[in-house]
Each structure stands twice: as structure tokens, then as C-alpha cells.
Chains A and B, each alone.
Chain A
Amino acid sequence: MELHQLTIHELHDKLADREISAEELASSFFSRINALEPKLRAFLTITEEKALKQAREVDKAGKYEGLTGIPFGLKDIFCTRGVRTTCASKILENFVPTYDSTAGRRLEEQGGILLGKLNMDEFAMGSSTEQSAFQSTCNPWDLERVPGGSSGGSAAAVAAGEVPFALGTDTGGSIRQPASYCGVVGLKPTYGRVSRWGVIAFASSLDQVGVFSRDIRDCALVLNIIAGKDPLDSTSVNLEVPDYTSFLDGEVRGMKIAYPREYFQQGVDEQIKTTVMQALRKFEAMGAIIDEVSLPHSEYALPAYYLVAPAEASANLARFDGVRYGLRDFEAQNVVDMYSQSRSQGFGNEVKRRIMLGTYALSSGYYDAYYLKALKVRRLIANDFDKVFADFDLIVSPTAPTPAFKLGEQTGDPLTLYMNDILTVPVNMAGLPGMSLPCGLVNGLPVGMQLIGKAFDEGTLFKAAYAFEQNTDYHKMRPVLGVK
């Protein structure tokens, strides 16, 4: 099998057995990247020189443990010291961070080799990666379609074999939805499980760092490294990090799995419903107990999310003022005009729209009616999940209501685009862990199933997902790109 099709653990074996060197491995991925990028456009920055230097150092040391010598990619929202970090925005086009994100740094400390920074919707606001200020990324399964978003570059790069794994962020579905569209594994851990230090903030009560990988074992290996308390992020939780690979026993006998009826309504494609129901039958055949439940406030999650997330974004993005870094308008004659002009030139349409919406929802006279109301609804959504988890170990649903749509198809009306997040936002609102894993194809396009667990119980997600993977072949599906 070609190197670019292998998983982290398979590549590790090749390095440990001295079949290949880390430098050869990195070079092989750069050849793949150079061949694919003219079509795919998943990368915003490629760090070839730095990566090859690191790989040579790894080879010189000659010890291949864990991630040593394994290439990876980062969504361009993770700060990388000395490497341009844009958040796919013109306002940060020339921004070079002076420190690393904790998650990215931990991967590098374990010997991982960063190949580059991946495309995304500007400031992670979008569901198709078309909101990037620089380029649209294509879906490797069909180059006329979107990879999903906002972490679309990460999902596309993993699916196309440009990197064995990548990190992304998920505020309302930005890891799970693109993972579903691109046919890879995508994990959003529990809020607080992974440090967000050095990750450019979108909506701070919802944002979480997570993993894109080709299989469940890889996902567990990476979470083992990035999870845990970080003194630099006060919202990271001081809870013991279990060895997530210990949950990979292939056993779901007696596991209680709920499927919420509301997640099989709400405009979900019929073929996707059928595909996910077949996956549920598979779990049942493997010995799990499956039953239908209700999460009655589901329909309120999306409107509440589109008040809470923009409100928090409007506050977080106030820091981009053209003073200390980022784009500045030099024509303005006074400082307020400089702020306003710089921000207007630097931010794209979707970012401006959400800043406006969030500012409105927080403004005097509307705060109670919109923002406070949304936070109360958020409590009801979290309570719904609590009730189900009193009797069940896991919730299963489709990840997204449709397969990948065509580039340009949903750029007109913002509300249509927001509907893509309808099955993923409730999980962020409740802070729970969620995973998307491939469970079939619809018209030649991948479909993901979403697993939702109790807070800090990623272990059960891994247990169930691994058992499913061992009994199916969906994780072996690879897109045909017509490039060797």
C-alpha cells in the first residue's frame, strides 16, 4: 500500500522497523501535496523546509516512539511560532505568532512533524470552507463539491492522503460535519478536555480542539497526547486522561445506545437516515441495546446557537483593531475611523454578519430578549441530554442532514448554510463529546454517523466506534483523485 494511504500506527511500524526514514516519509507526503494541491487547495501555508529539517533531526536521534517522525497538519487557527497564521482572514494575512498553541506544541514535543497550515472558513465561521478569504478547498470525493467546514482543509487533506492526521476546531460542528463530508473520523472532545491556548477564539463557551484521522485507533493516539489540563488555559479541566486506546476492545455487548427521533426528522436526507439506521442495526447485531428517545428541545438549538455564538464572537473579535498586529487602514485621520476602516477591509462578509448579529443581540434593549433567552434555552438543551444519559451510554444520529453540496450552491442565503449545523450544534451547546465516523456512501459521497457521549466519556465513543470499524469496511474507503 502507498505511504499516503496508511494510518499513524502503520507508519509508526515502518519507521520503527527502519523500512523508511522520517525524512523519506515527509518527502513522500510533500510529493503527494505538490501533486494534489493545484486541484484540492487544502493548504494555506506549506512548511517544507522546517519539516524536512525536523525529520532529519529525528532520524539522527534514531528513536521512533509514538508520534516520532509522523507528519501532520494544523487548521490555520492554531498559532505556530514563526509560521504565518491567518485564520483564513485578510486581517491576519501577515500575522506571525510569537508562541505555539498547546495542542500543536504537544504534538511536536512527541516528535510529530508539521507539514503546513490548513484552509478553513474565515475565523471558523462557515460550513463549507468557501468563506476563506484566500481560496476554496475541494472535496476529494468530488472536486465540484465542498469539503464542509469550517475545518474543511483539515478534513480534505486527511481524506486525500496529504497528511495522516490533522487538528481542527469545532464550535458548532466544524470538525464533525467536514469529517462526514470527506469520509474520515472527526472527534470533538468534551468542552475543557483539550487546551485551547494559542487557538484563535471564535465563541469561547463552545470552541473545542479536536482530531481528524483515518481510523479510530489513530484518533485515540492523538487525543492521548493533546488531552489534559494546561495551566495556560483556565477552562481546561484537571481530570485524569485515560489511555484512550484501552477502550479499543471491539466489544459493545450490553451497551445502551439511544437514537433521538428529532435527529431523523429536521430535513434529513432519506438515504442518510437509512444509512445511519443500518449502522444502528449493526450495533444491535453486535449485542448493543438500541432504542428510540426524544430530545424535545432539539429544534431550538440552532436558533439559540446563532445568538450565543455570534454574541461571543463579537466580543472575541473586538481585539482586531489594527493597532498591535494585523491589517491597518493608513488613510484614516483619527483612531476610531482607523478601527472601523481596518476591520471593514480585513473581515469578510460572514464574519461581519456575525459580528453585527452578535453586537445586536448583546446591545441595550435586546440583551434579555435574545442573548439571555438563548442561554436559558441552552440549559433546556443540556437537560434533555442529561435525561437520556441517565438511561443510556451513547447517542447515535446522522452527523449532517445531507452529503457534501456543490461549491457555490449555498453562498446566497446565510440561513440555508446555517441549517447544515442542525444536528451538531446541540452537542456544543451542552459541551458534550461528539464524533463523526464514516458509515456508508450515498450517491458516491461519504456519510458520517455522529456518536454523542456523556461529558468526559470519550472512552465510550472510542469503544463503540472501534467495534463498528472492526465489523465494517467503511474506514477503508478512499477517494479516487486521479493523481498518483
Chain B
Amino acid sequence: MALTIGEVEHVALLARLALSAEEKHTFAEQLGSILEYADKLTGLDTEGIEPLVNILPVFNVLRDDEVKPGSLREEILSNAPLLEEEQYKVPKII
């Protein structure tokens, strides 16, 4: 079943995507049919099954906090869309 336009707008806001009216309509249909396909899982009994988040038995990996050479500041900043005095500049936040 297709999602409502309201649901699509809510998800788009969470995902920080500005969608056109046409995109909203298309995604409402397409996400609906993909989720309908995913509903196949609801028929499967998973009572008592432990979710598998990661196949490796790795939990917390720590290392000593040593200073090592990394990327160069100028190189990193050269990818910035807009800089002012070596700082990233963005439109007003509040």
C-alpha cells in the first residue's frame, strides 16, 4: 500500500531531503511497494531469536591516544564549499 504524502514529507524532513511534488508522489508509491515486499518477514516466527547486528564478536575497540601525522589542514580545507578565515561558513542557524 502506498505511503501517504504526509508520511513521505515526515521521513523527508528526518532525512534532510527537499523533495519535489513529483518525487513525493513517486516515493509514496515505490516505498509502499518495497515495504509491502518487506512485509514478507512478518509471517516468519522470530520469537526468541537474537538480532544479528554484526557478524564479528567485536564490541569496543580502544587504542592508546598517541599523536600521529594525519591529513594536512590546508588540503582538508581546500574541499570546503565556503570558508572564512580558515573556518567553514554556513547560513544562519538561529
Residues of A within 8 A of B (CB): 94-96, 98-99, 191-192, 205, 231, 234-235, 237, 297, 299-300, 303-304, 306-307, 314, 318, 321-328, 330, 332-341, 343-344, 347, 352-353, 355-357, 359-360, 363, 369-370, 372-380, 382, 414-415, 430-431, 455
> Can you name 8 extra interface pairs (CB under 8 A) apart from A235-B56, A356-B12, A373-B41?
A237-B56, A306-B37, A322-B81, A335-B91, A343-B17, A355-B17, A377-B44, A430-B55
Given the known interface contacts A340-B17, A353-B30, A379-B49, the answer about A231 and B90 at a Cβ–Cβ threshold of 8 Å is no
Chief secondary structure at chain A's binding surface: helix
B27: chain A residues at CB < 8 Å are 352-353, 356
> Are B46 and A373 in contact (CB-based, < 8 A)?
yes
Q: How far is the CA of A363 from the CA of B33 in the complex (A)?
A: 18
CB distance from A215 to the nearest CB of B (A): 29
A-B pairs, top 7 by smallest CB distance, nearest first, are A431-B55, A375-B51, A98-B71, A328-B81, A325-B79, A376-B46, A234-B61
Chain B contact surface mostly: loop
A-B contact list, 11 entries, CB within 8 Å: A99-B71, A192-B55, A234-B58, A235-B58, A237-B56, A300-B41, A303-B41, A326-B81, A353-B27, A360-B7, A360-B31
B33 & A98 in contact (Cβ 8 Å cutoff): no
What are the interface flags for B6-17 relative to A under an 8 Å C-beta threshold, 1 for contact and 0 otherwise? Answer: 011011101111
Cross-chain contact B91 with A303 (CB below 8 angstroms): no
Q: How far, in angstroms, from A234 to B17 measured CA to CA in the complex?
A: 31
A335 close to B56 (CB less than 8 A): no
Closest residue on chain A to residue B72 by CB atoms: A98
Size bracket, chain B contacts: 35 or more
Q: Please judge, given known A-B contacts A340-B18, A379-B49, whether A304 and B41 are in contact too, CB under 8 Å.
A: yes
Chain B residues near A415: list those with CB within 8 A.
33-34, 37
How far, in whole Å, are A246 and B45 apart by their CA atoms in the complex?
Answer: 44
A74 to chain B, nearest CB (A): 19
> Are B80 and A324 in touch, CB under 8 angstroms?
yes
